[in-house]
Structure formats: C-alpha cells, structure tokens
C-alpha cells in the first residue's frame, strides 16, 4: 500500500531551503494583474510568507487576510495584514474577497473540488499554484510515498465547473544535490515527510541526486 506524505512543522530552516517554492511564488505573481487595485485579498496556506512578501511588494490592495493550518504569525511581523486565520483551509469560513490566492499549498487538500466550489462562492478571481502529477517522482519510485497529485487536466476540469474563464500553465523544476542524502535532507527541511519513517535500508539505498518538481498555475475568473 502506498503511504502518503505529511507536512511537518519544519519552519526553522524552511525559507532558506524552499528554493522551488520561491521560484513558484515569483512565477505565480505573473498570473495576477498588477495594475489593478484590489479591495480585499485572502491568501490560503500562507506558510512563512514566501508568496505573501512577493504579493505585498507588487500588488495594490486595501485589506489582506492570511490563513494557514499552523500559527506562523511570527514570520509576518513586517507585513501589514488584517486577519490571520489559523485553521485548515478546507473548514475555514470564507467571506467575500476581491481576490483569493494560494501558492504551493493546494496539493495538501483532501477534497480539492469542495475547496474550489467554496472559493467560487466567495470570489470571482482565484489564482493558485499546485504541485501536480509526477511531482517528486524519485521519492515515489523508491519509497512508495506520495500525495494524490492530480494532473493539470484533472484540475482544469474541476475548475471549469465553477469558473467561466480558466488560464493555466505547467512547469517543471529539477534540483540537483551532491549526494542522495542531501536530497532527502532538503525535503525534510522543507517539511515534506512520509518517507522518513521508512526503514534504514530503504533510506540508505536511495540513489537519486535529483528531485523533480511538477507545478501547475491557474488563474480563474467569473
């Protein structure tokens, strides 16, 4: 049976190791109209604020609300926001927003369609990035652990049920490491776990010095 990955509270060294997440955050911004003034923005799964900082530096808005399942407010001392909701985004009560955004978080959601439906009732503009099918294939092939990554096509088909206009793009990043152990350590430092409980021989026999990230970006409007 394939085991699932988990996200651990690895915040201490997260930002300095989140190389891919920073690339994704920078690219995700290109899907948002920077010339527009937004009244209210909600960021789901804000983490330590990698995308939040990019958003604040480039967008013009009145109010920003943040959400994460962990209380990461200590990382936002230099960011001006209205509310911080410490809750699972799937159970969070969402009010009306001009724009809802999320970077590198939706892949952790148990029921993506329910979340998309909920956002569609509370915003006419949703922009997000999500790790998609084929992500971290090296880990799955060796350890047999993976999230239930959806393909870009599967995600697009869900979005078209609730949004009239859906723009998307796919991307792939590969990170290279000097040793297989450093590749595994990188995942641990960015909070991705599940294989860590595997037996010692499996960890020792892991040979890949490359990690592949598959990312899909979506801009959805009604």
Task: Note the pLDDT tens digit of each residue in 60-96.
Answer: 999 999 999 999 999 999 999 999 999 999 999 999 9
pLDDT at 195: 56
19-73 confidence digits (pLDDT tens): 888 999 999 999 999 999 999 999 999 999 999 999 999 999 999 999 999 999 9
Is residue 113 classed as helix, strand or coil in its secondary structure?
A: helix
Query: Averaged over 3-9, what is the pLDDT?
Result: 57
CA-based nearest residue to 119, from 157, 163, 154? 163
DSSP 3: B
Query: Averaged over 101-125, what is the pLDDT?
Result: 97
pLDDT at 194: 59
141-180 confidence digits (pLDDT tens): 998 888 899 999 999 999 999 999 999 999 999 999 999 9
CB 22 within 8 A of CB 50: yes
pLDDT at 197: 53
**E-only strand ranges, the chain:** 6-7, 37-43, 60-68, 83-86, 99-102, 125-131, 165-176, 192-193, 210-221
Residue 2 has pLDDT above 70, yes or no: no
Indicate the length of the chain as a whole number.
222
Proportion of the chain above pLDDT 70, given as a percent: 89
Residue 126 has pLDDT above 90, yes or no: yes
Q: What is the mean pLDDT of the chain?
A: 91
Give me the DSSP letters along 51-85.
HHHHHHHH-EEEEEEEEESS--GGGGTTS--SEEE
| 168-187 exposure pattern, b = at least 16 Cβ within 10 A, e = fewer | eeeeeeeeeeeebeebbebb
Q: How many CB atoms lie within 10 A of CB 108?
A: 18
Q: How far apart are CA 56 and CA 83, in angstroms?
A: 15
pLDDT at 1: 40
Q: How many CB atoms lie within 10 A of CB 137?
A: 17
Query: Averaged over 107-127, what is the pLDDT?
Result: 97
Q: How far apart are CA 209 and CA 180, in angstroms?
A: 5
């Amino acid at each position: 049976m394939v085991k699932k990955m988990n996200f651990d509270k690895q915040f201490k060294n997260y930002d300095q190791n989140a190389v891919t997440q920073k690339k994704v955050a920078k690219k995700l911004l290109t899907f948002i109209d920077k010339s527009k003034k937004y009244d209210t923005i909600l960021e789901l799964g804000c983490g330590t604020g990698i995308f939040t900082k990019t958003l604040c530096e480039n967008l013009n808005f009145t109010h920003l609300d943040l959400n994460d399942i962990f209380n990461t407010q200590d990382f936002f001392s230099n960011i001006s926001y209205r509310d911080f909701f410490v809750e699972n985004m799937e159970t969070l009560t969402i009010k009306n927003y001009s724009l809802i955004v999320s970077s590198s978080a939706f892949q952790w959601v148990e029921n993506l369609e329910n979340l998309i439906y909920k956002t569609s009732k509370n915003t006419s503009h949703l922009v997000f990035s999500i790790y998609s099918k084929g992500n971290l294939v090296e880990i799955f092939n060796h350890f047999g652990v993976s999230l239930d990554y959806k393909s870009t096509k599967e995600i697009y088909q869900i979005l078209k049920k609730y949004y009239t206009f859906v723009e998307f793009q796919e991307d792939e990043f590969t990170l290279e490491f000097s040793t297989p152990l450093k590749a595994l350590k990188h995942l641990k430092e960015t909070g991705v776990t599940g294989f860590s409980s595997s037996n010692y021989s499996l960890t020792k026999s892991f040979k890949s010095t490359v990690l592949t990230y598959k990312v899909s970006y979506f801009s959805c409007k009604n």
